[in-house]
Amino acid sequence: MADYSNSPSVLLAPGQMSIADIERIALVGDLVLLSTQALTAIEAGHACLLQHIAAGTTIYGVSTGLGANVDIPRQPGVARAQQHDVLWARASGTGPAATDAQVRAMVAVRLARLALGRSGISPAVATALVDMLNNHITPVVPCVGALSEGDLAPMAHIASLLTGKGHASVAGRGRVSGAEAFAQVGLSLPVLGPKDGLALISSNSASIGLACLNLGSIRRLMRAHIAAFAVSCEGFCANLSPFQPQSVQLRPAAGQAEVSHALLGLLDGGTLHQSGHARRLQDPISFRSAASIAGAALKSLQQVQRAVELELSSSDDNPAVVAETDSIIPNGNFDPTHVAVTVDALHLAFARMAAATGERVIKMMSPSVSGLPRFLAEAEGDGTGFAPVQKTVAALVAEIVHDAMPLSPVVIPVAERVEDYASLLFPALCRGQRLIARMYELTAIEIMVAARAIALRPPVRLGRGTQALMDRLAPLCPRLPLEQPVADNIALLVQAIERSDFLADFSILADEV
């Protein structure tokens, strides 16, 4: 095996994993190290489980069947043999596969929760998950099949590798079975203990892994959105009165002050701050109320972060094994409804942001509102300008609004109607990924159009922040007459604003978002 002794690492301690830690493991590929406390907790939980099995305690999934089969007793010896079947039967997902980063996030989240010692998992099996991450064994995980009570199908596709089955890539190469993947890196497959199959899959860790990555992308998107709006204010010669502290204090809506402060910071030092420079006393609502609209999204983002942080630091195992009190506790803590409702709210807030963004883009192209040439074309000559881009904007807003709609909480009951409710967090997060991608594209178009509007106005002094943005992004924006398809410029702008280091040096944005 390779020598990882000098590689960056994340130390996994009980209750101490953060969203940033999951991102580092998933996106950067940092190693995972189990702390002494985590190993001790896992060992204690496993020992407690074995003692209860020896004492004849009735334990769901160990001495009973699962789901509707809870009424079927199992002998402990038979229960051990059933653990492979638990995984194989539930590796039933379909549809597109999750990305390598998403799968790594799912595994990392499950490890964070196993480290609490509440699952009863065998230490060797927990260590095997660590080995999978550190040797870049990445399971193939289909994204359709999880109802998020917990994420049985995706977690079973991950766990099947530990039995030698399933499909995986090793360091991004090819597709092999679990047995072949472990053999390629010189590892042996673990032997599953009496509750290991259930411990590996009965968790919403797949959902929380996706949520961690979505949150990171959304934080960057919020900064790009505020930056794009600042550039639009320059191109539109907007009235900054609604964003001044005195105005915000009259009705301090959630997030409005933070967004307004960041906006004014980007525009500081520019002509717009001077009295009498705004073209209108009152701009359209998509400009005038942008801080309130984005502020609602910012506060929703913060609520999702708190919900996800709670999940990372607590157990969702059913039944839970509590070694401190020598207890096996059946529960419903695998239900992540509290996360799902905050995610739904965040997506709806983004739909509102998209609607306002689309209106600003269209209005900058309208001479009756912006005072600029129609479609931002040259005053003389070709009148097409950015007219076709309006259709792209309309399509993006429509898709964003569609993906933002919450999934119905009413689902087909399964397992003899024992499982008669589902949070549907996992599919909601998958829809959220599409929404985020479309929002990045819409934000890139706003920057492109605003940059053109600035170029068509008489020269003015931009804010220090917006000038720095234009210095970076204007070279990526199309010039008229067009030298290449506009789609190429949109793609270049998306690549720029998606980067984790984009706007990293704009402290005014980092402080507020």
Query: What per-residue confidence (pLDDT) applies to 77?
Result: 58
- What is the per-residue pLDDT across 468-499, written as a single tens digit (0 to 9) for each? 999 999 999 988 777 789 999 999 999 999 99
User: SS3 of 475, please?
Assistant: helix
Are the C-beta atoms of residues 208 and 336 closer than 8 Å to each other? yes
Query: What per-residue confidence (pLDDT) applies to 381?
Result: 56
**CB within 8 A of 32, min separation 6: which ones?**
9, 10, 12, 25, 108, 111, 130, 133, 134
The 10 Å Cβ neighbour count of residue 359 is: 17
The one-letter code for the residue type at 182 is: F
DSSP category for residue 26: I
Query: What per-residue confidence (pLDDT) applies to 1?
Result: 43
Query: What per-residue confidence (pLDDT) applies to 187?
Result: 96
What token pair was written down for 458?
A: 């008489």
Cα 451 to the center of its chain, rounded Å: 29
Are the C-beta atoms of residues 386 and 392 closer than 8 Å to each other? no
pLDDT lower than 70: segments of the chain: 1-6, 76-81, 379-382, 507-513
| Beta strands 31-34 and 9-12, pairing class | parallel
Domains of the chain as residue ranges with CATH: 9-203 (1.10.275.10), 216-323+330-512 (1.20.200.10)
Query: What per-residue confidence (pLDDT) applies to 508?
Result: 67
Query: What per-residue confidence (pLDDT) applies to 2?
Result: 47
Please tell me the distance from the alpha carbon of residue 283 to that of residue 152, in angstroms, as a whole number.
51
pTM of this structure: 0.94
DSSP category for residue 408: P
Query: What per-residue confidence (pLDDT) applies to 74?
Result: 82
